[in-house]
């Protein structure tokens, strides 16, 4: 065997260590705050565009549309258009989306649990600056 190759005998595509892998590309797409927030809130169930925008405070129309399209392309979100007037468009998580939602839920829980810890850590860090 080689010197220290325990980690990956993965196909190059799936290897996160490689900057040009598909896995990295997916990480770059999905591991961002807007995508996570959309997935988290969509986890509550099917929602309309405007509902989502109301739920996720501070997200702009543009960012919501853009990230929804990205998630749709990657097959995490399904878009359903109702031929009514005014138009009604529903968004829901696919199976892949729901699987990722479990991860995002984990991060939400982590955030709650370590909120105080992080706050304190920041304070300590700030106060020992310019010693």
81 binds its own copies (CB under 8 A): no
Stretch binding DNA (CB under 7 A), from 8-16, 37-45, 64-72, 115-123: 64-72
63 binds its own copies (CB under 8 A): no
Report the residue number, 37 or 100, with the smaller CB distance to DNA: 37
Q: Comparing C-alpha atoms, which of 88, 109, 89, 90 is closest to residue 36?
A: 109
- When CB distances are held under 5 to 8 angstroms depending on the partner's kind, the choice from its own copies, DNA, none that residue 78 binds is none
Contacting residue, 79, 113, 122, 123, with DNA by CB under 7 A: 79
Contacting residue, 2, 57, 87, 116, with DNA by CB under 7 A: 87
Place of tokens 């995490």: 76
Q: Comparing C-alpha atoms, which of 46, 108, 32 is closest to residue 77?
A: 46
Question: Strand order in 77-82's β-sheet?
Answer: 47-48, 88-93, 77-82
- When CB distances are held under 5 to 8 angstroms depending on the partner's kind, the choice from its own copies, DNA, none that residue 62 binds is DNA
Cα–Cα distance, 73 to 119 (Å, whole number): 37
107 binds its own copies (CB under 8 A): yes
How many residues make up the chain in this entry? Answer: 131
């Amino acid at each position: 065997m080689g010197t220290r190759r325990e980690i990956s005998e993965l196909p190059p595509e799936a290897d996160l260590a490689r900057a040009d892998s598909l896995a990295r590309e997916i990480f770059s797409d999905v591991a961002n705050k807007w995508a996570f927030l959309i997935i988290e809130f969509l986890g509550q169930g099917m929602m309309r565009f405007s509902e989502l925008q109301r739920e996720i405070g501070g997200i702009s129309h543009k960012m919501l549309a853009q990230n929804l399209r990205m998630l749709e392309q990657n097959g995490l979100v399904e878009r359903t258009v109702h031929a009514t007037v005014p138009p009604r468009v529903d968004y829901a998580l696919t199976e892949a989306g729901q699987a990722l939602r479990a991860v995002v839920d984990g991060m939400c829980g982590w955030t709650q649990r370590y909120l105080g810890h992080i706050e304190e850590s920041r304070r300590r860090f700030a106060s020992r600056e310019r010693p």
